């Protein structure tokens, strides 16, 4: 590398270093506060058994343990010390750090549901809306073609020219007839 290129490289590096140090001293540098311009992606974490308000509406006293399990799912917490109590816990932790937690408790006596209470649960539609935080792209176009669109997309029938040749290259050729004999499967060894 020639000496004049080396000195210009050193000058550029020295001015970049001086600019960076001057920005750090003022406290206004973007590099001094990296959390404002660069944050890692943190995904949403969903844990536990989601219970919708529609499921809660189907609970009624007298249901058996099996019916409650079929309706709400397996409980997240069932204790040996409280054999007649099931606890359902559900939480959503957002990547931003915000956490929502829902709890619901069902109690049994002699294998029959006697008590159920807990937080107000969201409906299924509300829960899906909470999870779907993607950017809305607008109206989804119809996925079926109308009759007019189908007619417009059809390839016109080929009309043979005077010599009998078909001028339209988009029309597929007629299939070949099946072969009358086949080559041997093995090489010519005898």
Q: How many CB atoms lie within 10 A of CB 77?
A: 13
Rounded Cα gap, residues 160 and 167, in angstroms? 7
Q: For the chain, how many structural domains are there in total?
A: 1
Domain that holds residue 113: 45-128
Rounded Cα gap, residues 69 and 87, in angstroms? 12
The length of the chain, given as a count of residues: 190
**Residue bearing the bigger pLDDT, 16 or 153:** 153
| Residue 48 confidence (pLDDT) | 87
| Residue 131 confidence (pLDDT) | 74
- 2 found inside a domain: no
Q: What pLDDT, in 10s, does the model give residues 44-94? A: 888 888 889 999 999 999 999 999 999 999 888 777 788 889 999 988 887
- 29 found inside a domain: no
pLDDT band at 163 (very low <50, low <70, confident <90, very high): low
| Residue 144 confidence (pLDDT) | 85
- 115 found inside a domain: yes
- 51 found inside a domain: yes
Strand positions, DSSP E, 26-122: 45-48, 77-78, 85-93, 99-109, 112-118
User: Residue 88: which CATH number?
Assistant: 3.30.1450
- 150 found inside a domain: no
């Amino acid at each position: 590398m020639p000496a004049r290129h080396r000195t210009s490289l050193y000058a550029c590096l020295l001015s970049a270093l001086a600019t960076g140090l001057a920005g750090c001293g003022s406290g206004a540098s973007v590099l001094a506060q990296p959390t404002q311009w660069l944050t890692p992606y943190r995904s949403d974490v969903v844990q536990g058994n989601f219970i919708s308000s529609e499921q809660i509406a189907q609970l009624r006293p007298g249901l058996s343990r099996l019916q409650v399990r079929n309706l709400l799912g397996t409980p997240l917490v069932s204790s040996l010390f409280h054999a007649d109590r099931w606890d359902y816990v559900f939480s959503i932790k957002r990547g931003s750090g915000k956490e929502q937690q829902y709890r619901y408790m069902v109690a049994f006596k002699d294998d029959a549901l006697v008590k159920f209470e807990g937080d107000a649960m969201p409906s299924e539609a509300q829960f899906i809306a909470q999870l779907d935080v993607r950017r809305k792209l607008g109206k989804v176009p119809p996925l079926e073609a109308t009759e007019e669109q189908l007619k417009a997309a059809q390839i016109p029938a080929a009309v043979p020219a005077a010599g009998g040749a078909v001028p339209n290259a988009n029309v597929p050729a007629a299939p070949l007839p099946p072969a009358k004999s086949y080559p041997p499967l093995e090489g010519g060894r005898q």
